[in-house]
Amino acid sequence: MGSENNEQKAALTLSNLRQARYLLHYLKPHAWKFLLALGCIMLSAFSTSLFPFLLGKMIDAAMPGAATPAQLSPWNIPLGQWIRTVSWSLNTILLLVFVQLSLQTLFSYGRIYLLTEVGEKVVARLRTDVYACILSKPMSFFAERRVGELTSRLAADLSLIQDTVSFTLAELLRGVFTLVIGLVFIFIISFKLALVMLSVVPLLAVLAVVFGLRIRRMARKVQDHLADSNTIVQETLSGIAVVKSFTGERAAIRRYRQSILRAAVTAINNARFRGAFVSFMIFSVFGTIAVVIWYGVNLIQQGELSIGLLIMFVIFSVFVGGTFAGFAEMFSQLQKTLGATQQVRHLLFSGGEIELSEPDESVQPSWKLKGAVRFDNVSFTYPSRPEVPVLRHISFELRPGERVALVGPSGAGKSTIAALLLRFYDPDSGTIIFDGRNARTFPLHQLRRQIALVPQDVILFGGTIYENIAMGNEQATAQQIEEAARFAHAHEFIERFPQGYQTVVGERGMKLSGGQRQRIAIARAILKDPVILILDEATSSLDSESEWLVQEALERLMQNRTSLVIAHRLSTVRHANRILVLDKGMLVEAGTHEELMSLPHGLYRRMVEIQAEEVG
């Protein structure tokens, strides 16, 4: 298994760049700051380029008797003549150096601050839009994607875009400006030296790109092997009881050792390659500098160059060479960013119905439910498993205020019926009808605001108890939230916490017991005041005391509401108005507890008897 965090790259083509243009929509509100940052980048590159010029003039000023060459290049341009002939005193040049450094400092601060501010604000808005877009997708979208993939889009991909906007783009533009200015200066200083230098630098730059790609590929292989090793550790420690019970410690150690050795061998090979490359580059770079200086000294002896101009040329050459070398990494970073933007763009603009309600959207009178529900010949398969039918020609009816239990073996389709009621999915065939109207005609949030789900595995979010209950009704007052908690038998234990309703429940509510989480979920449902209530095995995993409290709270909650109770413990559904029995996606029995128990070979009766034997 390879690492799942390898960055996706995209070629720097016009088509891919055009696809990334949607980022300009996020950049537009900050356009003037971005343009000001670009100005700072240009001025920073120019002011940096003045340093070698001033340093060369300082050397010439220290040698007043040195010859000044009459011709610098084939082009006898005014700028070249000025660079050659201008002279200042040492004190004046030192003053100009500090002026140049001050300006460079100012422009560098401006470009870093402005681009960071623009990048942070752009990505903050982009993160919010991507998160909202993910939440607004239908359930079929989540069935086809892993949580890790979606969180990666929010974390890794957007961080990559942020780094590019805030840092890589600035460095790329600064490199381009520095390269252009540096090339202009070295050709003005000495055309002959420039040809000598440029005959070697492009070759070194190409070798740096080729070797760099190879080194990065090998480094990714090392990361893949380490990811395999981490997977082995995670699997082993998560299943340590199984490892111990089968005395599998040595086998696990052997697997881990083999994976680590593969990573070590790859890293060693990479080190050989990297060492050879670094050694070659050191030899080549310093050899080139030596050749340039040797040739420059010859030009000095011939009166074509001054010592100051040679120093100026060497420093500009270092600028140009360093910029060439940096381009490879910057282009690689841009490719990763294009890959990330394509992933994010696909997420933002992929198909699927948007399910995001307005903050103050309330139930309109025309969509108000009375609680009548009918399944009419409903069949369904999940989009991720189209070959496996989950429901087959299901038909039943719930009358307003009626309490109906849904029972059956695991995998019979009970929870799927709850998902269809909430319109997480729509049936493949057949119709779901609310109060005589097709469910598809209802606006999603008008329907869902009138249905409450209390699941078996309650999910609480990492905020406070108050915030978790208030999710049922964001406009609720503190008094209404407390009343809902009292109704759900939750107020008593909440008040025992030092922070009361402001107690932070921890990730997924792990600081609370199962019974406490269930009662908070019931309070949340009570606050919602639903017309239709779905209880999905809400008491199956509780101890006796917690079950009694939760069951009493549920009894209160179900009063005067259409309730669909999905139950595993059949003793909890004896008093339902009707019991529907599912098996292999089909409705096989329906009736009261007494009617179903009177069937000599009925599935419900067999399940009750089996559970009675287990209890006995």
> What is the rounded (10 degree) CA torsion for 539, 540, 542, 544?
80
Count Cβ atoms below 10 Å from residue 168 Cβ, excluding itself: 20
Sequence-distant (6+) residues with CB within 8 A of 483 are none
**Crossing angle between the packed helical segments 191-198 and 169-189, to the nearest 10 degrees:** 130
Nearest CA to 568 among 447, 457, 442, 446?
457
Evaluate if pTM is beyond 0.75.
no
Closest by alpha carbon to 413, among 446, 381, 456?
381
Residue that the structure tokens 């695991």 belong to? 410
C-alpha dist (Å) from residue 433 to 423, 438, 452: 11, 5, 17
Query: Which amino acid is residue 126, in one-letter code?
Result: L
Give the sheet arrangement for strand 403-407, strand by strand.
451-454, 532-536, 562-566, 403-407, 578-583, 586-591
Q: In the prediction, which pLDDT does 373 show?
A: 92
Beta strand 578-583 pairing with 437-438: unpaired
If DSSP codes are grouped into helix, strand and coil, which group holds residue 430? strand
The structure tokens listed for 221 are 């292989």
Q: Are 515 and 546 in contact (CB under 8 A)?
A: yes
DSSP bridge partners of 431? 376
Look at residue 304 in the predicted model and tell me its pLDDT.
Answer: 76
Contact 372, 400 (CB under 8 A): yes
Dist. CA 61–CA 66, nearest whole Å = 9
The class (CATH top level) of 11-190+329-351 is mainly alpha
The set of residues, in sequence order, having a beta carbon less than 8 Å from that of 132 and lying 6+ positions away, is: 356
394 forms bridges with which residues in the sheet? 378
Instruction: Please state which architecture CATH assigns to domain 365-450+530-615.
Output: 3-Layer(aba) Sandwich (3.40)
Taking each helix axis from N to C end, the angle separating 169-189 and 31-61, rounded to the nearest 10 degrees, works out to: 30
Helix (H), strand (E) at residue 562:
strand 562-566
Q: What is the DSSP string of 239-290?
A: THHHHHHTT-HHHHHHHHHHHHHHHHHHHHHHHHHHHHHHHHHHHHHHHHHH
Q: H helices within 302-424, ranges in order? A: 307-349, 414-421
Q: Which helix (H) or strand (E) holds 557?
A: helix 544-558
What pLDDT score does 437 carry? 92
Residues in the chain where the model's pLDDT stays below 70: 1-22, 63-86, 143-149, 152-153, 201-202, 205, 209, 227, 325, 328-329, 332, 348-361, 507-510, 538-547, 614-616
User: pLDDT, tens digit, for every residue of 576-609?
Assistant: 889 999 998 899 999 988 998 888 888 888 888 8
Q: Residue 4 contacts by C-beta under 8 Å, 6 or more apart in sequence?
A: 148, 152, 227
Q: Say if strands 532-536 and 451-454 run parallel, antiparallel, or are unpaired.
A: parallel
Q: What is the dihedral of CA 476, 477, 481, 482, to 10 degrees?
A: -170
* Residue 320 near residue 182, CB atoms below 8 Å: yes
Helix (H, G, I), strand (E, B) or coil at 28: helix
Among candidates 202, 203, 189, 181, which has minimal Cα distance to 314?
189
Measured on CA atoms in the order 45, 50, 56, 58, is the torsion positive or negative? negative
Q: What is the pLDDT of residues 250-259, one digit of tens each?
A: 888 888 888 8
Domain ranges of the chain: 11-190+329-351, 191-304, 365-450+530-615
Crossing angle for the helix pair 90-135 and 307-349, nearest 10 degrees?
Answer: 10
pLDDT at 377: 93
State residue 555's pLDDT score: 79
Tell me the pairing of strands 578-583 and 586-591.
antiparallel
Residue whose pair of structure tokens reads 């239709």 in the numeric block? 532
